Amino acid sequence: MSESRAAHDAASPGVLTRFADRLPLTGATPRISLGEGSTPLVPAPSLEQITGAARVWLKLEFCNPTGSFKDRGMVVAVAKAIEAGYEAVLCASTGNTSASAAAYAARQGLRVYVLVPGGAVAQGKLAQAVAHGARILAVEGSFDDALQLARAVTERRSIALVNSVNPFRIAGQQTAAWEIVDALGDAPQIHCMPVGNAGNITAYWRGYRDSYDRGDAKQLPQMFGFQAAGAAPLVTGRPVQHPQTFATAIRIGNPASWQGAVAARDESGGDIVAVTDAQIRAAYEHLARAEGVFAEPAAAASVAGLLALHDHGMELAGRQVVCVISGAGLKDPEAALQIQPDRRDVPATLEGIEAALD
């Protein structure tokens, strides 16, 4: 290995290198990386002020290479697919999983097929799949239909399924919990996150428990998952036929990791709660305006949920809270452009500019 290549690997090692001893790797697992993981954990002062929590931390998962948390699990799933001899990968996706699969497959020279619910994927995510050269199968149905088909077709063909039903995805996504424990020196008391297909809440809970078992964390958090009210099967207790929400990433009616989400909720003494689109939109705008954090709508569900817990009277004083910000605002420009812009058309003159200032 050249010196500059070694220096690069050391600068951004990625999760396979950073957590090699804690992930299900073998000597034959290629240590691929796009520099995923090691995302910032930043305080959110306005949310501390509103809720009275001692600290509210935002785990900025949109700082991963493809702009969402999916890269942590995808790098493991793709590495294990290569180790097993696959030359193609496939997933169903509301957009972020497909963007991540497309990027890692492109880098490793694998064919990649993505099944997306037709007409229901944010433009930025579709742009990523296009740019990376994925074959896009726009399914005339929901995400849940697409996932069922993805499972069926990968059983018939020699193509690796890289949805979170693949255990290597969940294994890799635990690394976010490990990083939080590393950064805080313990687990937080309250962990807030959006829930769609429920792989990520399953992974975080497993990750926190693993840190606790190793003695890295002295406490376990209460896990709070938030679903959009129009797509809240884990709240109502039964699948939703036609899930609806403007947070398209979590427009899912029958989560694959249903049991994992229920276990996280019950074992941690937490809850899974519905937040309305209006609450998600308000949190989305608040994050952007008050914290300078441009998250995609589904990611803002963490904060919408925290604010809902506070509104319902939950005592947060003295508590450390972590909210996962799971995906980037730029992925869904249409959602942002629904905000009334503060825009003036001005003549190209100094007077024109000055007249438009406060």
d(CA 300, CA 322): 13
Question: To the nearest whole angstrom, how small is the minimum distance from the Cβ of residue 185 to ligand F0G?
Answer: 26
Question: To the nearest whole angstrom, how small is the minimum distance from the Cβ of residue 347 to ligand F0G?
Answer: 41
Using the minimum distance from each CB to ligand F0G, give the nearer residue, 164 or 268.
164
Q: Which residues contact 306 (CB under 8 A, 6 or more apart)?
A: 47, 51, 56, 190, 192, 224, 321, 323
Using the minimum distance from each CB to ligand F0G, give the nearer residue, 200 or 211.
200
- Both tokens of residue 10? 């050391």
In sequence order, what DSSP letters do the residues of 254-299 get, joined into one string? Answer: S-TTHHHHHHHHHHHT-EEEEE-HHHHHHHHHHHHHHS---B-HHH
Question: To the nearest whole angstrom, how small is the minimum distance from the Cβ of residue 4 to ligand F0G?
Answer: 34
In 140-195, DSSP assigns E strands to 160-161, 190-194
Using the minimum distance from each CB to ligand F0G, give the nearer residue, 13 or 243.
243
Q: Which residues contact 59 (CB under 8 A, 6 or more apart)?
A: 39, 40, 41, 176, 179, 180, 322, 323, 324, 325
Contact footprint for ligand F0G (CB under 6 A): 68, 70, 93-97, 164, 194-200, 249-250, 296, 298-299, 326-327
Question: To the nearest whole angstrom, how small is the minimum distance from the Cβ of residue 90 to ligand F0G?
Answer: 13
The three state secondary structure string of 318-342 is: CCEEEEEECEEHHHCHHHHCCCCCC
Which class for 355: exposed (0-12), middle (13-18), buried (19 or more C-beta within 10 A)? exposed
Using the minimum distance from each CB to ligand F0G, give the nearer residue, 13 or 166.
166
Using the minimum distance from each CB to ligand F0G, give the nearer residue, 167 or 352.
167
Question: To the nearest whole angstrom, how small is the minimum distance from the Cβ of residue 208 to ligand F0G?
Answer: 15
Using the minimum distance from each CB to ligand F0G, give the nearer residue, 233 or 327.
327
Question: To the nearest whole angstrom, how small is the minimum distance from the Cβ of residue 141 to ligand F0G?
Answer: 14
Using the minimum distance from each CB to ligand F0G, give the nearer residue, 16 or 192.
192
Question: To the nearest whole angstrom, how small is the minimum distance from the Cβ of residue 93 to ligand F0G?
Answer: 3
Q: Which of 307, 273, 308 is nearest to 287 (CA)?
A: 307
Question: To the nearest whole angstrom, how small is the minimum distance from the Cβ of residue 128 to ligand F0G?
Answer: 11
Radius of gyration of the CA atoms of the chain, in A: 20
- Both tokens of residue 264? 């996280």
End-to-end C-alpha distance for the chain, whole angstroms = 57
Using the minimum distance from each CB to ligand F0G, give the nearer residue, 13 or 303.
303
